[in-house]
A and B are shown apart, each in its own frame.
Chain A
């Protein structure tokens, strides 16, 4: 396992902890934590604070029958919710988002493939597969874009990103991520706004591709 150098920024982790982060970004956070024991420890630290607050909360009496209801249900048969284990480079949360099935890639041209996991008006999250040495067209951002490397590596104007690394891009960054030679790069990418492509062709294709 490579060592991870780019982690979840504190404000994003905190929004995840408090439940205010969108589905798309939550999927990125949960996937990074599945790969990164540092950020898992940070998450569990937040939970220790939460536990401290819970312990200090003034108790409110519960209904007399609540305990009996719970005890009565302990032995009732139940269907354990399906859990999703890692599949190759895909961490459990991504496998869950795919419903346990392998990704179906659609071509974006230039050998780049995508598999949309969720898309709505305000957010989207997708898998991208970029052939070795291939660049994603140069673009800027209208909002926040989080990219988590699952396989291979890419580099752009800001640095080098290997397996487990998370890149945070916002309005201030324009970049041309390029997959490193040697191995196909698979990323999980989430945005809360459409990207701004500088070249005409990707801009024209944008509505079709839904990026």
Chain B
């Protein structure tokens, strides 16, 4: 698992062994970035830190649901933070899809994890290559300040391959679930 990001490895350590040092590493890496993101979206420092505290607690409590075949740690933590952020802004619990969960984690399929990391890496570098005004557009859309009609068309981000990677991860999960119920 050399090619896997250290953030994803930390999150797996939290998931598998409640590893506190790995959790502190995640906090040190993500808390300041989350704060930067929330402040950019217009939150006060105090409110931002409230949401970060909830987010990191949820990372600890929900780690058993983390599946590296479908998401990198960064995407997964972004989801938790954004869902919390949206609920706080809207003062209601926005409906969320059912979680895909499995009783016993199937064995890790390193090649699928690494392939997803690589696709995500391509997406990251495409994000970095955007002109500053384009990236600002994408940021605003993801912070809910802009309706994102066709970000893909406007920016040419390579979303297709990563989507099929994620789907593959889910297919695999589905097969494992079938195998589990059959046995």
Contacts and interface: CB of A to CB of B under 8 A. Distances in A.
Interface of A: 10-11, 14-15, 17-20, 23, 26-27, 29-31, 33-34, 37-38, 40-63, 66-67, 69-71, 73-74, 78, 80, 83, 85-86, 91-93, 96-97
Given A54-B37, A63-B49, A66-B53, A49 B98 contact: no
Contacts of B151: 14, 49
10 contacts: A14-B147, A18-B141, A20-B144, A26-B94, A30-B97, A44-B163, A53-B139, A55-B124, A70-B56, A93-B95
B113 interface: no
Contacts of A27: 95
Nearest to B57: A73
B39 A60 contact: yes
B92 interface: yes
B127 A41 contact: no
Interface string B23-44: 1100110111111110110000
A96 B94 CA distance: 11
Interface of B: 20, 23-24, 27-28, 30-37, 39-40, 45, 49, 52-53, 56-57, 60-61, 70-72, 74-79, 81-82, 85-86, 89-90, 92, 94-100, 120, 123-124, 127-128, 138-139, 141-144, 146-151, 157, 159, 162-164, 166-167, 170-171, 174
Contacts of B90: 19
Given A26-B94, A30-B94, A42-B163, 11 more contacts: A15-B147, A18-B144, A41-B166, A45-B163, A48-B166, A51-B75, A57-B33, A58-B36, A66-B49, A70-B56, A93-B97
A101 to B, nearest CB: 17
Contacts of A53: 37, 78, 127, 138-139, 142
B106 to A, nearest CB: 16
Given A17-B142, A67-B24, A92 B98 contact: yes
Nearest to B153: A10
B77 A62 contact: no
B33 A59 contact: yes
B148 A70 contact: no
Contacts of A20: 144, 147
Contacts of A30: 94-97
